[in-house]
Structure 1
């Protein structure tokens, strides 16, 4: 059976003021000063190449301390908001698919590959990446156009760098081709697919590296 022709869409998830300085959940790694320009570069490159752009924003329940759409922090970052998009979605759960028309919209437009950028790596991005793969889409993840923040709770603690790095490694092992924005733009301009790794080889390399360092 032949593969479906490559047809990308870029989904930009929750680039809202909540994640920037003055917001309730400031992104820590990679720095927002690096990731926001990459989000914007990806959006502009997609537009220039005819790749549809979907912008998603999150709305929390009334009374929640973050992501209230009638507040400044709940609004899209102005640089994202001013750019032309092909579709806009408001969601209330982590995945951009849940309770929205995203799946139907992608199907109507013949999308076979979903590129994901935005915030946060480990929460709404991860939920969207996992569900996209389960729905049969090829997935690409722009690791330097996304980011995480640190956590500490009863289960332990982790830095933003650890969270972002580990999720990126897991994505690339099975769920999505994890790439830099520069490389993604080159692939878009050339009309070429990007390849993810697999669980078996990802594990074998890690075991081999461990054995080499143990000698």
Structure 2
């Protein structure tokens, strides 16, 4: 990591709904991602990186994330650790209808490291909006997670959703890495580089040609 970068760790929607509720994270296994989220928060604290905790809310009576319900509550991995700022949201992006951007600007933050749930919903929305408004973004791919979906458009596993979104984010929107790599970077090791749409496509075509 370079000295010119000023980071914040954005911890998105680590709530009981994703652990013991209706939307239990399946891939990566929720126990694994929770452990990595805790590691990232502890490392950020030790490095002086401010932590922002984001919590999703729905009206009372909603089937998921109803304010005041057990599913709405922050999971103990996050609730038991301190944070510099708290954001309550009602839309997928942590920026939508919140003070997150203004708070980050006030702190001089230029780079966001994102963890939490779900990969394909609130993490993805937050990452893309962050890029659009001028922040550099990192995503820790083993500190996020997905659930399976089935609807009129088809059936897809949690693993396929997660892997696909990580590849797409790495191609343009964020520097995707695992938690161990990020922790090593905090200790002075070089960060891997974010790739490009073109490079990602060319690499895929080359791999396909080699397998033909």
**Which TM-score bucket, shorter chain as reference?**
over 0.9
> Given the two structures, how large is their TM-score scaled by the length of structure 2?
0.96
The 5 Å alignment of 1:132-143 reads: 132-143=130-141
Q: Which residue number in structure 2 is paired with residue 84 of structure 1?
A: 82
- 1:64, CA displacement in angstroms? 1.5
Query: Using the alignment, how far apart are the partners of 1:195 and 1:101 within structure 2?
Result: 30
In structure 1, the gaps of 5 or more residues are: none
Query: Using the alignment, how far apart are the partners of 2:191 and 2:110 within structure 1?
Result: 11
The 5 Å alignment of 1:50-199 reads: 50-190=48-188, 194-199=192-197
- 1:154, CA displacement in angstroms? 0.0
Q: Which residue number in structure 1 is paired with residue 22 of structure 2?
A: 24
In structure 2, the gaps of 5 or more residues are: none
- Structure 1 vs Structure 2 CA RMSD: 1.5
> Given the two structures, how large is their TM-score scaled by the length of structure 1?
0.95
Q: Which residue number in structure 1 is paired with residue 34 of structure 2?
A: 36
The Cα offsets for residues 175-210 of structure 1, whole Å up to 9 and x where unpaired, read as: 001001011111123285552100000000001111
- 2:54, 2:89 within 8 Å by CA — same for their partners in 1? yes
Determine helix, strand or coil for the equivalent of 2:25: coil
Query: Using the alignment, how far apart are the partners of 2:189 and 2:52 within structure 1?
Result: 19
- 1:61, CA displacement in angstroms? 2.9
Query: Using the alignment, how far apart are the partners of 1:79 and 1:195 within structure 2?
Result: 29
Q: Which runs of 4+ in 1 moved over 4 A?
A: 191-194
